[in-house]
Each structure stands twice: as C-alpha cells, then as structure tokens.
A and B are shown apart, each in its own frame.
Chain A
Amino acid sequence: MSEVGTAPAEAEPLLRVRGLAKHFPVRTGLRGHSVVRAVDGLDFDVRPGETVGLVGESGCGKTTTGRMLVRLLEPTAGTIEFEGRDITHAGRRELRPLRQDLQIIFQDPYASLNPRHTVGRIIAMPLQVNGVAPAGGVKARVQELLEVVGLNPEHYNRYPHEFSGGQRQRIGIARALALRPKLIVADEPVSALDVSIQAQVVNLLRQLQRDLGLAFVFIAHDLAVVRHFCQRVAVMYLGKIVEIGDRADIYERPQHPYTRALLSAIPDVTRLGPGGRIRLTGDVPTPLDPPSGCRFRTRCWKAREICATEEPALVPRDGGGQATACHFPESGPVPQEDGGTAGTAVEEVSK
C-alpha cells in the first residue's frame, strides 16, 4: 500500500500520510454513543513544490483532513510524516520548528482575521509567536508580504473591516507566507469569494506556488478550480479517497464512477441547456452510519452484490500513478458530451 497514490518517486516526499483517520464521538438518542468516521484511513504523499487537490462533497472529510495536517485536530489513527519526521502526536514545543514550514489558509475571509487587530499585526502574528525577527524588521517584512499578495503596503495600519472579501483573503495568504513555509494547506480558499475575485486569488496562488516553489494541499469542492491549480488530485467520498491521480488522469480518464458523476454534475458555462448525462440520486449518506462495503454503492449505478460485502481497495489500475477504489472501474476517456454548441442544444431540447 505504501506506493499507492505516488508517482514513481523521484524525490523524498515532503509530507507522507498513512492510514490517517479521525473519529468524532457523538451522542445518539438519549444515552447511546457512537462515532462519526469523518476520515477513515487516508494514504497520500505530497512532494516538495507539488500541488495536491483534495476534492469532495460535504461530509467527505476533506476539511477534517486539512485540520489534521496542520495539527489543529488530533488524528485518531495513522501517521503524518513531515520531511521524514513523525509529527502525528508531536506537542506544541516539538511542533514549533515545523510551524514555520507548515501553514494554513482558511475559507472564510471574514472569520479568519482578528477584527481587533491591524493588518500589520495579523500578518506579523506568526513571526511574533515564533519569536522570529526577520532581517530589516517586522514592519519591512509585513510590507514586503503585502506587496507580494498584491495589496498596498501602506495599508499596514488598516483594520480587516476596511477591506473587501478578496483583499481579506490576500491578507490571510500573506499571513500564511510570513514564515516562508514549504507546505500550505489551503482549505477552500476561494469558495467564499465572488467569481471575478476568485479568479484573481487563484492566479495569485498559482503565481506564489511557481515563484516560491511552495507545495500545496488544496482542499475544495469545486473540481473546476482544482483543475486550474493542482498537479495531482485525490477525490474523497465519505472519509475515504476513492480515486487519486495526476490531473490528466482524473479529468480526462477518470475510472471511479463517483469521479465521473462529479465531473458530469459541474454546470458548464460553455454548454447551454440541461447539463451532463450522469445523474446521481439522493444525497451523500451520513458518515454516522456509512454503507457497508463500498461507501458509494448506494448511489452508484454499477453497484452489484460484491460492492455491499467487500470494500474495494485503492489500487493502481494501469501501473501508473492513478489509483481507484472500485470493483468495476470505468475505463477510457470521458465521452464528450453532446450540446457543445448552442445550436445542437436547442435541437436537443426541442425534440
């Protein structure tokens, strides 16, 4: 299993995750206790300078995973190794040197900045708590960072409420960059932003990734955004990775039915009229009581008996970097959907 999801290894991975799990105890009914298996056994690697996307719908455990990677949540099982060191249960003091290398960007540009602090103080916070004194002084570093993320360095003394959503997200990015990290976990960094601003921030992240050689774990529900940012993509469903592979594999030759359904469900501006062909029925089941065997089987059109009894392992299919957890994987490229032009769409509809 250790080679699962890794392309032939040229470099030592920066981050190595094995069997990562998080179970939350919950109260059910009056006196019952049970666990929500929010994340249930993840394996993946992130190499230096690589961008990995974690994609899935609500309840798939992608945010919990991100929180565990930066150790905001304590994993229930499994290991997280960063540059070869096991940090799964490291204490605050042991983590201190690592904090500089491992940072997080949050989803909500309104909740992620302390409203009572100036922008300068917010961005300088990681420097301050880690006792880092940058050459040239804190203020110079903060102003440099503001410039890097495309904000006016003179706005050092402003407060968050004086900025728009997109600008606030840039401030959050500057804060994550303050310690010159090697890996940034970005938890839905653009999903709270307007479309036009979303594109600005995606471009900024791409540029930073290129210029600074940063590795990213990019958590998102939007497959289209992930496609523009990530070199490798892991698709999650109910706490498990169902498919992982290079971008081209996932978007052009997806093997897992869920990946195909997800791609098909994204409304496409370039195609008018009713969208994709694959329609899943129902909602994602509750992680409190996930289906037996393959967790996707309740919504899968290919499900057979074996899917209910035996859980499919995440295994590479064609020897490459692409691994799929499915008993009946699809093969070949996604068929081009009809209605590529408005004209045919109209015909199709009026028939």
Chain B
Amino acid sequence: MSLSPAEGVALAEIESGGGAEAPERGDVVGRSPGRLAWIRLRRDRTAMVSGGMLVFFMLLALAAPLVEMLYGIGPKEQFQSLLDGFGMPLGYAGGVSGEHWFGLEPGLGRDIFIRLIYGLRTSLFIAFAAAVITATIGVVLGTLAGYLGGWLDAVINWITDLTLAMPFLVIALALTPTLVLRFYGEREAVSPAFGVAVLIGVFAVFGWTSTARLVRGQVIALREREFVEAARASGAGLGHMLFRQLLPNIWAPILVSFSLAVPQFITSEAALSFIGVGLSDETPSFGRMIYRSLDYLQTDPAYVFFPGIAIFALVFAFNLFGDALRDALDPKSSR
C-alpha cells in the first residue's frame, strides 16, 4: 500500500489551514509568490554563498579591463625573460610570484591570471548569450505549441525531434570549419568576434529544445486551469492569455532551466574549444587554456590547475545556485 495518498491528505489539511490566517495581518500590501521565493532564497545558505560567488565572477569578468589596469599586465603580453631555455617558467609552481599571481604559460610566457580573467569574460559572455537566445526561442515555440496546439504543435514537435536527432558534436565539428572557410578563406586570420558568434550560433541551434519542451508541458498543464478559462470566458485575446495569464506562471521553471543552461554552455564552450572547433588561440578562453596545458601536464601541472579549478568553481557555483533557485521557487518539489 502506498503512503502517498495518506501523507498527501494530511499535508493538504495542514496547508489549507495554514494560509487562512494571513489576511489578518496588519499590513495591506500582499507578498507576491516571487517575493516569497526571494525570502526563501535569502534563508538558504548554499544559495547565498554560490550566488555571492557568481556575482563575484561576473563582476570580475565585467571589470576585466579594470583588473588589467590595476594588475598592470595585459593578456597578450609575453614574458620570455622569465622562461628557461626549454620555454618553461622559472621559479616554483609554474612561475607563481608577486608579479604573476598564477604564474606564466610555458612557451609563450603569457600571464595566466589575466588570461583567466579574460577567459572568464569570454566564457560567461558566450554562455549567457547562448542561454538568452535558446530560452527565447524555447519559450516562444513552447508557448505557441502548448497554447494553440493543433497543427502548429505538431510542426513544432516535429522540428524539436529533428533537432534532437542531429548529432551535436559531429555537426559542430563539420559546420564550424566550413563556415570559417566560407567567410575567411584558407589562410586569412579569423576575427575573434566571428569565432564567438559561430559558437553562440551553434549553441542556439541545438540548445532550445529542452526549454521548448519544458514550456510546452507547463503551458498545456496551465491551459486547462480554471483561471485561464476564466480569462477566456471574459473574452481575453491571445496576447492577454500568453503574457498576462500564462507566462507569469512559468517564469519560475524558465529561470531555473536558464540558470542550469548557463554552466552547461560554459563546459560546452570549453569542450568545443578544446577539440579545436571553438575559439581561436587568440581569444582567451578556458577551453583553449586547458587544451594547451595538457602538453605540460607532467612538466608544469600548475598550468592545468588554475584554469581547471576556475572552470570547476564557476560551473559548480552555477549548478548549486540553479538547484537552490528551484527549491526556492517551488518548495514542494524538494521535500
């Protein structure tokens, strides 16, 4: 015998009694569900620590030129004089010193710290841009498919399935060089902005499906709710239905999926850059740094260590925050 119905009844009994007292409070302005979620988030220590880390990372990325100014070293400056005859940095732990906090790259002798800061900037920019674009596509397609249904739903579902069936890596591997050749030719230098745009484009094409499915499911569930019918019975048009009635009720899952998509794009960017289809070496990025550092895994482990730990901390913080956000927005799911 399952316990769920029994526990459910008991909880419903407690909860239905719980809300009743609220209107007896003195103040007049109500606490919106969003505000309640914020209060819950504030109480969650994991959320506060990971959120603080994220804010710190983002400020660092935004203020990269400022950091460069204060630090006094640019991402492209080379310090060959601090390398030995084999191109390895002098000193301990890959050349860590008061001047070069995280040491130097073997070979080119660039400063790892400032390249990490700029790499963070690149990664976050790509990840956020891709997440915003995929979320937008997903929300628009998902809402339309879910609310209007019929042939539109069938078509959008079909496109979703088609996209999911395409092998992401293979297409990314095939597409990126082709695009680059198409625009730049064999020997021209590829502009960093172009590389970034291609990456975002690839992510956008492949990344929207999960959001679209999520939103579609949510909208279908909401469509049958009585408050939506009440609006329909009052003669509300499509715009009112979508923007006033439906979207305010699904931004919570959208936000959660957004916050979990960002770290996914960060790792994807690193992975693509690592296998060489992403960014060129000129653009500082986590993936490129880890790719280059692998040659020195034995001789200069510090070179792997710093970018590795940075990407780990960033993705970990994002995931923790995303989970905490989900708990705060939908407290029942976590019980």
Question: A–B direct touch, CB within 8 Å, in complex?
Answer: yes
Binding site for B on A (CB under 8 A): 67, 70-72, 92, 95-96, 99, 103-104, 106-108, 111-119, 122, 125-126, 128-130, 152, 154-159, 161-165, 167, 172, 175, 179
Report the nearest A residue to B228, measured CB to CB: A114
> Known: A103-B233, A152-B23, A163-B23. Contact between A129 and B240, CB under 8 A?
yes
Q: Does B182 contact A (CB under 8 A)?
A: no
Report the nearest A residue to B252, measured CB to CB: A116
> Known: A161-B19, A167-B23. Contact between A99 and B30, CB under 8 A?
no
Q: Does B158 contact A (CB under 8 A)?
A: no
In the complex, what residues of A have CB within 8 A of residue B240's CB?
A: 128-129
In the complex, what residues of A have CB within 8 A of residue B244's CB?
A: 117, 125
In the complex, are the beta carbons of A157 and B30 less than 8 A apart?
Answer: yes
Report the nearest A residue to B238, measured CB to CB: A92
Q: Which of A111, A113, A129, A159 contacts B234 (CB 8 A)?
A: A129
Q: Does B167 contact A (CB under 8 A)?
A: no
In the complex, what residues of B have CB within 8 A of residue A114's CB?
A: 227, 245, 248-249
In the complex, what residues of B have CB within 8 A of residue A117's CB?
A: 244, 248
Which 7 pairs across A and B sit closest by C-beta, in order of nearness? A158-B30, A164-B20, A112-B226, A116-B248, A162-B22, A99-B235, A126-B234
In the complex, what residues of B have CB within 8 A of residue A107's CB?
A: 226
Q: List 8 A-B contacts (CB under 8 A).
A: A67-B229, A92-B237, A113-B227, A126-B235, A129-B231, A157-B28, A162-B30, A172-B230
Q: Which of A71, A96, A155 contacts B23 (CB 8 A)?
A: A155
20 additional contacts (CB under 8 A) given A67-B229, A108-B226? A72-B233, A99-B233, A104-B230, A104-B233, A111-B226, A114-B227, A115-B33, A116-B32, A116-B249, A118-B32, A125-B244, A126-B234, A129-B234, A154-B28, A156-B28, A157-B30, A163-B20, A164-B23, A165-B16, A172-B230
B7-27 Cβ-contact flags toward A at 8 Å (1 or 0): 000000000100110110000
> Known: A114-B249, A130-B235. Contact between A162 and B19, CB under 8 A?
yes
In the complex, what residues of B have CB within 8 A of residue A71's CB?
A: 233
Report the nearest B residue to A161, measured CB to CB: B19
Q: For the complex, give the distance between the alpha carbons of A337 and B30 in Å.
A: 52
B78-94 Cβ-contact flags toward A at 8 Å (1 or 0): 00000000000000000
In the complex, are the beta carbons of B237 and A129 less than 8 A apart?
Answer: yes
Q: For the complex, give the distance between the alpha carbons of A219 and B233 in Å.
A: 17
Report the nearest B residue to A70, measured CB to CB: B233
B246-275 Cβ-contact flags toward A at 8 Å (1 or 0): 001100000000000000000000000000
Q: Does B225 contact A (CB under 8 A)?
A: yes
In the complex, are the beta carbons of A72 and B235 less than 8 A apart?
Answer: no
Q: Within the complex, what minimum Cβ distance (angstroms) separates A9 from chain B? A: 28
Q: For the complex, give the distance between the alpha carbons of A117 and B247 in Å.
A: 12
Scoring B31, B227, B237, B240 by chain A CB atoms within 10 A of each residue's CB, the highest score goes to B227
In the complex, what residues of A have CB within 8 A of residue B42's CB?
A: none
In the complex, are the beta carbons of A106 and B248 less than 8 A apart?
Answer: no
Q: Does B232 contact A (CB under 8 A)?
A: yes
In the complex, what residues of B have CB within 8 A of residue A156's CB?
A: 28
Q: For the complex, give the distance between the alpha carbons of A118 and B29 in Å.
A: 10
Scoring B33, B233, B240 by chain A CB atoms within 10 A of each residue's CB, the highest score goes to B233
Q: Does B236 contact A (CB under 8 A)?
A: yes
In the complex, are the beta carbons of B233 and A157 less than 8 A apart?
Answer: no
In the complex, are the beta carbons of A159 and B32 less than 8 A apart?
Answer: yes
Q: Within the complex, what minimum Cβ distance (angstroms) separates B329 from chain A? A: 12
Q: Which of B22, B230, B249 contacts A163 (CB 8 A)?
A: B22
Q: For the complex, give the distance between the alpha carbons of A122 and B231 in Å.
A: 9
In the complex, are the beta carbons of B231 and A125 less than 8 A apart?
Answer: yes
Q: For the complex, give the distance between the alpha carbons of A14 and B33 in Å.
A: 41
Report the nearest B residue to A165, measured CB to CB: B16
In the complex, are the beta carbons of B229 and A162 less than 8 A apart?
Answer: no
In the complex, what residues of B have CB within 8 A of residue A152's CB?
A: 23
B214-233 Cβ-contact flags toward A at 8 Å (1 or 0): 00000000000111011111
Q: For the complex, give the distance between the alpha carbons of A276 and B234 in Å.
A: 43
Q: For the complex, give the distance between the alpha carbons of A96 and B232 in Å.
A: 11
Q: For the complex, give the distance between the alpha carbons of A117 and B244 in Å.
A: 9
In the complex, what residues of A have CB within 8 A of residue B29's CB?
A: 157-158
Q: For the complex, give the distance between the alpha carbons of A206 and B58 in Å.
A: 60
Q: Which of A92, A119, A158, A175 contacts B230 (CB 8 A)?
A: A175
> Known: A157-B30, A162-B30, A164-B20. Contact between A130 and B234, CB under 8 A?
yes
Q: For the complex, give the distance between the alpha carbons of A70 and B229 in Å.
A: 10
In the complex, are the beta carbons of B230 and A112 less than 8 A apart?
Answer: yes
Q: For the complex, give the distance between the alpha carbons of A106 and B20 in Å.
A: 20
Q: Within the complex, what minimum Cβ distance (angstroms) separates B255 from chain A? A: 13
In the complex, what residues of B have CB within 8 A of residue A155's CB?
A: 23, 28, 30
